Amino acid sequence: MTQIRHEPVAPTRVQRLAPGGAIDAHRHDDHQIVYAGRGVLAVTTGAGSWVAPGTRAIWVPAGVVHAHRAHGELDLHLVGLPATDNPLGLDAPTVLAVGPLLRELIIAYTHAPGDDSPERARLRAVLLDQVRASPQEPLHLPAPASPLLRALSGILQADPADGRTLAELGREVGASDRTLSRLFRSDLGMTFPQWRTQLRLQHALVLLAEHQPVTTVAHRCGWSSASAFIDVFRRTFGHTPGSHATG
C-alpha cells in the first residue's frame, strides 16, 4: 500500500523537475496554488487529472491528496496559503487562467519565500486579488468510477487517436452506446465527445512540452488535420499550439 505523505504546511517555493519527474501523492493542511513557469504540469487526485501549461495554474485545496508530474523541463512555483485563507471559496482542485500580471506576481512571490517584509505582504495581497479575479476553467479530466468507463478510458488513454465511435468502443467493453452515454453523464458529468476532447487536449499539452511538431501532435491526438487541432486548442487555451510550444 502506497504511503501518502502528510505535510502540515504547504510550502511556498520554486522547485525544478526534470522531464518525467514526479512528486508522489501527498496532502497539506494548507491550500496551495501550483503554477508551471516553464513546462507543463499534471496534477492527479482520486477524482481525476488536471494538466496546466504556463497560461494556467491549479488551485489545490487543503487536505486533497494529490501528486505532481512534469512534462518537459518544469519550473514549479508553489504558493502556500493557510486553510483559513481561501480566496476562491473552493474545496476541489480547479484550473485558473493566468494572465501576464498574475504570472509575474507568482514568480516574484515564490522567489523570496523567507521574506516577511511589509512589501512582501502587499505583494501577497495583490496576488490574491488577481487569483480572485482569475477565470476558472473546466480543464479537468475526471476519473471514472464505473468499471465499464474505466475499461473504455484505458483504451483511449493508451491511444488518444483511436477514432472509434462510442458504439464501436462499446462492443469492445461489452456495453451499448446508450448505456455508456448515460454513464458518462451520470458518472463524469459530461458527454463522451466532451470527455474525449479533454483527454486529447491533455495529451496534446504533454506532447507539445516534449517539443513534438504541431502536425505530429494533431495526428497523434486524433484530429483529422492540423488546422482542426489548432482551432480547438486556440478556443480552449487562448493561443495557438505553435506559440505554446515555442513560448
Q: What is the pLDDT of residues 12-24, one digit of tens each?
A: 999 999 988 999 9
- Whether 39 and 69 have beta carbons less than 8 Å apart is answered as no
pLDDT at 1: 42
Number of neighbouring beta carbons within 10 Å of residue 24: 12
CA distance 153 to 208: 22
Helical H segments across 138-189, by residue range: 147-158, 166-173, 177-183
CA distance 193 to 89: 30
Residue 247: pLDDT above 50?
no
CA distance 170 to 174: 6
- Whether 4 and 27 have beta carbons less than 8 Å apart is answered as yes
Higher pLDDT, 230 or 52: 230
Average of per-residue pLDDT across 108-127: 87
Domains located in the chain, CATH noted:
5-140 (2.60.120.810), 144-246 (1.10.10.60)
- pLDDT level of residue 91 (50, 70, 90 thresholds): confident
Average of per-residue pLDDT across 183-196: 95
Q: Which residues contact 173 (CB under 8 A, 6 or more apart)?
A: 148, 151, 152, 155, 180
CA distance 72 to 206: 8
- Three cell numbers written together for 39: 513546462
pLDDT at 2: 57
Residue 138: pLDDT above 80?
no
CA distance 210 to 71: 7
CA distance 227 to 225: 5
Closest CA to 32 of 46, 45, 21, 20: 45
pLDDT at 244: 59
pLDDT at 183: 96
- pLDDT level of residue 226 (50, 70, 90 thresholds): very high
- Three cell numbers written together for 216: 505530429
pLDDT averaged over every residue in the chain: 90
Number of neighbouring beta carbons within 10 Å of residue 179: 15
- Three cell numbers written together for 47: 477524482
Average of per-residue pLDDT across 159-180: 96
Residue 245: pLDDT above 70?
no
Average of per-residue pLDDT across 196-216: 92
Average of per-residue pLDDT across 232-236: 91
Residue 115: pLDDT above 90?
no
Q: What is the pLDDT of residues 23-37, one digit of tens each?
A: 999 999 999 999 998
CA distance 57 to 41: 9
- Three cell numbers written together for 182: 448515460
CB contact burial 90-108 (16+ within 10 A = b; e otherwise)? eeebbbbbbeeebbebbee
- pLDDT level of residue 246 (50, 70, 90 thresholds): very low
Scan for cell 491511444, then name that residue. 159
Q: What is the pLDDT of residues 34-86, one digit of tens each?
A: 999 888 889 999 889 988 888 889 999 999 999 999 988 889 999 999 988 88
